[in-house]
Amino acid sequence: MTSILALLAVLPILGLVSGEASSDFPGPDYQWKHHSQQDLEQILEDTKRECPDITKTYSVGESVLGRKLWVIEISDKPGEHELGEPEFKYIGNMHGNEVVGREVLLLLISYLCKNYGTDPDITWLVDNTRIHIMPTMNPDGYAEALEEVKKTGDNKWSTGRANANGKDLNRDFPDLDTIYFGSRMGNFPRRHGKNNHISMALNLKQFQPETLAIISWLQEYPFSLSANLHGGDVVANYPFDASHNGKAEYEATPDDAIFKQVALAYARENPVMSDPNRASCDMGDDHFEDGVTNGADWYPLNGGMQDYNYLHTNCFEITVELSCKKFPTNPSDYAKFWKENKESLLAYIRQAHSGIKGVITDMDGNGIEDAIIKVSKKVGDTGEYIDHDITTAEGGDYWRLLVPGTYYVRVEKCGFEPAYKECVVPEGNESEEGSDCSFQLEENNEICSQKEVKMEEDLLNILSRYLQ
Ligand SMILES: [Zn+2]
């Protein structure tokens, strides 16, 4: 008797009885409207009240006009990095008049909150991923675009695209592309000889406050996967955004295979994006196979956010265009956009679990920060080096997104003997939990310089002073 009652009590938790919430969402009472900054803050507050155990809000800085750049974190231990758990982010509305991303992210926030504990997939995702969502990166641009829509009933192609200083934020990031391609072509020696965490001397006054807020945010969390949501077309665009000669042509990163996989994971679940017969948005000749494109192949740009993520951090970011119209003016159309993007948004977060992950420790089990993870894909009897290394986070944990295959993994850290191992990402593991590939390193007597770690710390210190 007791056991049957106990079982009945457990069933809804496992999601075996429920499932209603998923299909009804957001429900007949949901008010479809354009959500202002105030509405956005209200939704974050309401979500925190409804799901206090899995949410935390924080602001990473302010726009030119002093609007806060809000982030909501959704995780089973909000405010905490759990060893081994990947950190993921979504950023919406970087161009203030591209608003579909902003609205679908607000819906995603409520959706994750409402279905946690009842839907087993959502529960797994939230328990095993630290998800950060920034619905708007450009609240000033949004306010300007919304104002125009209210006054004239429409939004022109570019009103509100830039921030309040008239700067396009997706051209405002440090141009690491030029350094990277210059090094690759032998124009000058690669700084520090590195193929990751490339840095350059920055004059911080040159960058917009929204850009600096993101740069500083990236220093603070060990993100491994991200998407930046835009509008004006319907396609998932992956790095590089810049090309080595400035021409529109395919510019592959060393991680082209995994970038294609994650972009396809988004596009595949969106029936409009993946439709091979879809008419192009501008009636031009843009044709995107399977709903994805290499950024530079479409049109090259320098100073974009996704290339900065890839070249300066461990985070792999893509840019997703969600709708032909940048600012669809009829709020009821957003039900359609939510329906088109819901599964894509969830499938893409799951990609944070593809590839390998692990913890690098010393012989006493202490995590080793900033160890370098080098990976070669096994092809026949040899290994093809993927010329982009990943580094470990504070606790020694790392995430290396990879397509299925066998890999030779080498770990290096000054003061320790390098170590090697073969690790396998099984077929069909595209979005399962990353294969474990942990190492224990033996100390040696090498003398190490602290210079590079200090440079990162300096940048963080300078930024925090600047953002105050
Ligand atoms: Zn855009």
| pLDDT at residue number 375 | 97
Tokens of 156: 């022109």
If you measure from the C-alpha of residue 457 to the centroid of ligand 1, how many angstroms do you get, rounded to a whole number?
A: 31
Write the CA distances from 324 to 279, 304, 362, integer angstroms: 10, 21, 52
If you measure from the C-alpha of residue 98 to the centroid of ligand 1, how many angstroms do you get, rounded to a whole number?
A: 6
Q: Please give the model's pTM, rounded to 2 decimal places.
A: 0.92
If you measure from the C-alpha of residue 57 to the centroid of ligand 1, how many angstroms do you get, rounded to a whole number?
A: 25
If you measure from the C-alpha of residue 22 to the centroid of ligand 1, how many angstroms do you get, rounded to a whole number?
A: 30
In the DSSP assignment, the letter for residue 258 is H
Catalytic residue IDs:
321
If you measure from the C-alpha of residue 338 to the centroid of ligand 1, how many angstroms do you get, rounded to a whole number?
A: 18
If you measure from the C-alpha of residue 323 to the centroid of ligand 1, how many angstroms do you get, rounded to a whole number?
A: 11
For the chain, what's the residue count? 468
3-state secondary structure string across the chain: CHHHHHHHHHHHHHCCCCCHHHHHCCCCCCCCCCCCHHHHHHHHHHHHHHCCCCEEEEEEEECCCCCEEEEEEECCCCCCCCCCCCEEEEEECCCCCCCHHHHHHHHHHHHHHHHCCCCHHHHHHHHHCEEEEECCCCHHHHHHHHHHHHHHCCCCCCCCCCCCCCCCHHHCCCCHHHHHHHHHCCCCCCHHHCCCCCCCCCCHHHCCHHHHHHHHHHHHCCEEEEEEEECCEEEEEECCCCCCCCCCCCCCCCCHHHHHHHHHHHHHHCCCCCCCCCCCCCCCCCCCHHHEEEHHHHCCCCCCHHHHHHHHCCCEEEEEEEECCCCCCCHHHHHHHHHHHHHHHHHHHHHHHCCEEEEEEECCCCECCCCEEEEEEEECCEEEECCCCEECCCCCEEEECCCCEEEEEEEECCCECCEEEEEEECCCCCCCCCEECCEEECECCCCCCCHHHHHHHHHHHHHHHHHC
If you measure from the C-alpha of residue 24 to the centroid of ligand 1, how many angstroms do you get, rounded to a whole number?
A: 31
| pLDDT at residue number 18 | 43
| pLDDT at residue number 176 | 93
| Class of residue 77 by CB neighbours under 10 A (exposed 0-12, middle 13-18, buried 19+) | middle
| pLDDT at residue number 175 | 93
| pLDDT at residue number 448 | 85
If you measure from the C-alpha of residue 20 to the centroid of ligand 1, how many angstroms do you get, rounded to a whole number?
A: 35
If you measure from the C-alpha of residue 96 to the centroid of ligand 1, how many angstroms do you get, rounded to a whole number?
A: 8
If you measure from the C-alpha of residue 228 to the centroid of ligand 1, how many angstroms do you get, rounded to a whole number?
A: 9
How high is the mean pLDDT in each 10-residue block of the chain (468 residues)? 40 41 80 96 97 98 98 97 97 98 98 97 97 98 97 91 98 93 71 71 88 96 98 96 95 98 98 92 79 96 97 97 96 95 97 95 97 96 94 97 95 96 83 79 86 60 60
If you measure from the C-alpha of residue 233 to the centroid of ligand 1, how many angstroms do you get, rounded to a whole number?
A: 9
| pLDDT at residue number 191 | 47
If you measure from the C-alpha of residue 97 to the centroid of ligand 1, how many angstroms do you get, rounded to a whole number?
A: 8
- Rounded CA separation 427/425 (Å): 7
Domains of the chain by range and CATH? 31-353 (3.40.630.10), 356-441 (2.60.40.1120)
